[in-house]
Structures are given as structure tokens and as C-alpha cells.
């Protein structure tokens, strides 16, 4: 039986012109760019955008532009070395103590700046058929204490699939934490229902959910209410953002994001420099400017509201601090 959230997901915008009509905007976009990396926006996210504003920072995150077709030097298919880190299909192991599962290739929203735009999900997902190799890998490495559910968006997995997965992971004695990286609380809040909270919080592993908010307006009343429910269920909530041109490249946007996050019970974790994946060059904020913005945040905010400014460099043992 299809759930309410699945129906909402299916009713989302799959056509750029429909979204622009809904917002009353006549902005240029590129159908060719949308052909290379499909367009997808749930209605709950579209409702947070400002009608009539072609420069709305939420719209910018999803609007396919002709600039995506340019491929300046240095922008590549796999900028962060995901492929070499695939130890078995579906499992990335880059950092000591933590391994990451590519649980699905599906997302509720398609973010144009996504660093996994070209990830070969077909052959590299943690599917039912392939789960044994990945689970065996985790069992064999007693240093692993944390498993990260990633994708795609792991909260698009069905309840049954999530139940099975959390059972499999809780049965591995050396695991202590489960981490979930998701944009669903921001873009498809109806997915965060009571049953999902039980699945995420109802086991022995401490669970951290890292939401990916880039702009304070993503945290509207509906999202605030699901974040509160997640906190009540006992989940630890963190946020990571990507620093994006014309989205959040100002001191005021980043400060307000941290303030809003804290009001929602979420602590800022990382602010990432853009991963240089093909098609995303127009989002890049140069490092010197990123440092200056970060310095300004440090001046204005208490230390616990300043995200760590980092860049991911292939082969390094952790995400490198930029300042």
C-alpha cells in the first residue's frame, strides 16, 4: 500500500516549466541540462520558494541552467574519490571508524550542485541482493563504530527496508552509532511520520540525523515541527551545508541559517566548499571569499553556531579544515 508521503513524492514537480508557472516566474532554464541530470522538486519544497523571484535561493538550488553544460577545467565526474573508496558494492570506506552505505540512488529533490550527479548508482547500491558483502565487510572490521546511511536519500527507503537494515546493523556488536544524511526533513517533511521515528530511534545504536539545509528559509513551520518530533524521539540533529553562489554566499544568510537551526534544535556541523563535479562551476565560491565569510561568522556568532569550513580532498584521512 502506498503511504501518504509516497503519494506526495509522486505529485512533485518533474517538469521545470510547471514549477515556474506555479511560482509565476518567466526565468530562462535549460532543458538540455535537465536531460543530463533530471529535474525533481516536491511541492512541500516549492511552497517555500518566493513566488515571482527568479533569484530565490531555494529555486537556484534546483533550477537547471545552461551554465551546467560548460565544463571548465578541474570539474570532473568524481571529485571526491568515491569510486576508489567503494570497498564492496554499496559501501564506501574512506575514514577510520566510519563506513558509508549507498542505500539508494533516489532523492526527493534533485540538487543541481550534487557531488554524486554522476555516481554509478546502478552497480554500486546497497540492495537487498547485494547486502551480504557489505554487511560482512562491516562485521570483519571491529574498528568500525559508526555506519552512515547515505545515497541518494536513505529516508526514501521503505519502512520495511529500513527496519531490516537497522536490525542487521544493531546485530553487529562493535557498532555504536547510526548516522543518517538526508534532505527529506526539508523537502518532504510528511515522510517523517511516527512509524519512521520509531524505526530510527527504537534500537540500541545512538542515532544522529544530519540534515542538509543551505538557507534559513528552508526551515519553515512544517519543517520546524518535524524537527521537534525528531528531537523528542531522541535523535541528535546536526546540519551540513554547501557554500553556494547566489544561494547562501552572504554573512547574513549564513548567520540567520545558524540562528534558525539552533531554534530548531539542530547544531551546525559542516560548511562544505563545493565539490568540483562537472556541471556545477557556477555555484563555486572561491576559497579566499569562503574564508572571509567564515571569519565574519566567527566574529558574529557563538562558537557552537559556527560550522566547520571544510573541503573534501581525495585520499585525505578526514575532511580538511579550510581555516
Ligand X SMILES: *Cc1c(COP(=O)(O)O)cnc(C)c1O
Q: Is 56 in the site for ligand SF4 (CB under 6 A)?
A: no
In sequence order, what are the residues at sequence separation of 6 or more whose Cβ sits closer than 8 angstroms to the Cβ of residue 14? Answer: 38, 39, 40
Q: List the 236-242 sheet strands across, edge first.
A: 86-88, 91-95, 98-102, 146-150, 177-182, 206-211, 236-242, 267-272, 308-311, 320-321
Q: Which does 318 bind (CB under 5 to 8 A by kind): ligand X, ligand SF4, none?
A: ligand X
Segment lying near ligand SF4 (by CB under 6 A), choices 150-158, 202-210, 259-267, 281-289: 150-158
Q: Is 318 in the site for ligand X (CB under 6 A)?
A: yes
Q: Is 215 in the site for ligand SF4 (CB under 6 A)?
A: no
Q: What is the DSSP letter of 13?
A: B
Q: How many helices (H) and strands (E) does the chain have?
A: 14, 10
Chain residues 88-147 in contact with ligand X, contact rule CB under 6 A = 92, 94-95, 98, 100
Q: Which does 92 bind (CB under 5 to 8 A by kind): ligand X, ligand SF4, none?
A: ligand X
- Out of 56, 118, 153, 218, which residue is the one contacting ligand SF4 (CB under 6 A)? 153
The residue count for the chain = 323
Beta bridge partners of 211: 182, 239
Q: How far is the CB of 109 from ligand SF4 (least distance, A)?
A: 6
Chain residues 144-163 in contact with ligand X, contact rule CB under 6 A = 148
Q: How far is the CB of 47 from ligand X (least distance, A)?
A: 30
Binding pattern to ligand X, positions 21-50, x when CB under 6 A?
------------------------------
> Number of residues in contact with ligand X, rule: CB under 6 A?
9
Binding pattern to ligand SF4, positions 165-184, x when CB under 6 A?
------------------x-
What is the CB-side half-sphere exposure of residue 64 using CA atoms within 13 A?
21
Q: Quick one: 98 or 130, whose CB is closer to ligand X?
A: 98
Question: Residues 13, 248, 38, CA angle at the centre, nearest 5°?
Answer: 25
Q: How far is the CB of 232 from ligand SF4 (least distance, A)?
A: 25
Residues 250, 287 contacting (CB under 8 angstroms): no
In the chain, beta strands by DSSP E: 86-88, 91-95, 98-102, 146-150, 177-182, 206-211, 236-242, 267-272, 308-311, 320-321
Q: Quick one: 224 or 267, whose CB is closer to ligand X?
A: 267
Question: Residues 312, 255, 241, CA angle at the centre, nearest 5°?
Answer: 25
Chain residues 102-121 in contact with ligand SF4, contact rule CB under 6 A = 107, 109-111, 114, 116
- Out of 36, 54, 85, 164, which residue is the one contacting ligand X (CB under 6 A)? 85
Q: Quick one: 271 or 301, whose CB is closer to ligand SF4?
A: 271
204-to-155, 171, 188, 322 alpha-carbon distances in Å: 19, 10, 27, 35
Q: Quick one: 43 or 203, whose CB is closer to ligand SF4?
A: 43
In sequence order, what are the residues at sequence separation of 6 or more whose Cβ sits closer than 8 angstroms to the Cβ of residue 33? Answer: 64, 65, 66, 68, 69, 112, 279
Q: Which does 201 bind (CB under 5 to 8 A by kind): ligand SF4, ligand X, none?
A: none
Residues 191, 162 contacting (CB under 8 angstroms): no
- Residue the block writes with cell 542505500: 103
What residues line the site for ligand X (CB under 6 A)?
Answer: 85, 92, 94-95, 98, 100, 148, 318-319
What residues line the site for ligand SF4 (CB under 6 A)?
Answer: 107, 109-111, 114, 116, 151-153, 183
Amino acid at each position: 500500500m502506498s503511504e501518504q508521503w509516497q503519494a506526495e513524492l509522486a505529485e512533485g514537480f518533474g517538469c521545470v516549466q510547471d514549477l515556474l508557472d506555479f511560482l509565476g516566474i518567466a526565468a530562462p532554464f535549460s532543458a538540455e541540462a535537465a536531460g543530463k541530470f533530471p529535474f525533481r522538486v516536491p511541492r512541500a519544497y516549492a511552497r517555500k520558494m518566493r513566488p515571482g523571484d527568479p533569484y530565490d535561493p531555494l529555486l537556484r538550488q534546483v533550477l537547471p541552467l545552461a551554465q551546467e553544460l560548460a565544463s571548465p577545467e578541474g570539474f570532473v565526474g568524481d571529485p571526491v574519490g568515491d569510486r576508489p573508496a567503494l570497498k564492496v558494492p554499496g559501501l564506501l570506506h574512506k575514514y577510520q571508524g566510519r563506513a558509508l552505505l549507498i542505500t539508494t540512488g533516489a532523492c526527493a529533490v534533485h540538487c543541481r550542485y550534487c557531488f554524486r550527479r554522476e555516481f554509478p548508482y546502478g552497480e554500486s547500491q546497497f540492495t537487498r541482493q547485494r547486502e551480504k558483502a557489505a554487511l560482512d565487510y562491516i562485521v570483519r572490521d571491529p574498528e568500525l563504530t559508526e555506519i552512515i546511511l547515505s545515497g541518494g536519500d536513505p529516508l526514501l527507503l521503505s519502512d520495511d527496508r529500513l527496519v531490516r537494515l537497522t536490525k542487521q546493523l544493531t546485530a553487529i556488536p562493535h557498532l555504536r552509532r547510526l548516522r543518517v544524511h538526508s534532505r527529506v526533513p526539508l523537502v518532504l517533511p510528511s515522510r517523517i511520520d511516527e512509524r519512521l521515528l520509531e524505526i530510527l530511534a527504537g534500537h540500541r545504536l545512538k542515532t544522529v540525523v544530519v540534515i542538509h539545509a543551505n538557507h534559513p528559509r528552508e526551515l519553515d513551520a512544517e519543517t520546524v515541527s518535524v524537527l521537534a518530533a525528531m528531537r523528542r524521539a531522541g535523535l541528535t540533529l546536526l546540519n551540513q551545508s554547501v557554500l553556494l553562489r547566489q544561494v547562501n554566499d552572504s554573512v547574513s544568510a549564513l548567520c540567520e541559517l545558524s540562528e534558525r537551526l539552533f531554534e530548531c534544535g539542530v547544531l551546525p556541523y559542516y560548511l562544505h566548499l563545493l565539490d568540483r563535479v562537472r556541471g556545477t562551476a557556477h555555484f563555486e565560491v572561491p576559497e579566499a571569499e569562503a574564508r572571509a565569510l567564515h571569519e565574519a561568522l566567527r566574529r558574529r556568532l557563538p562558537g557552537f553556531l559556527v560550522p566547520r569550513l571544510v573541503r573534501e580532498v581525495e585520499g585525505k584521512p578526514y575532511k580538511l579544515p579550510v581555516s
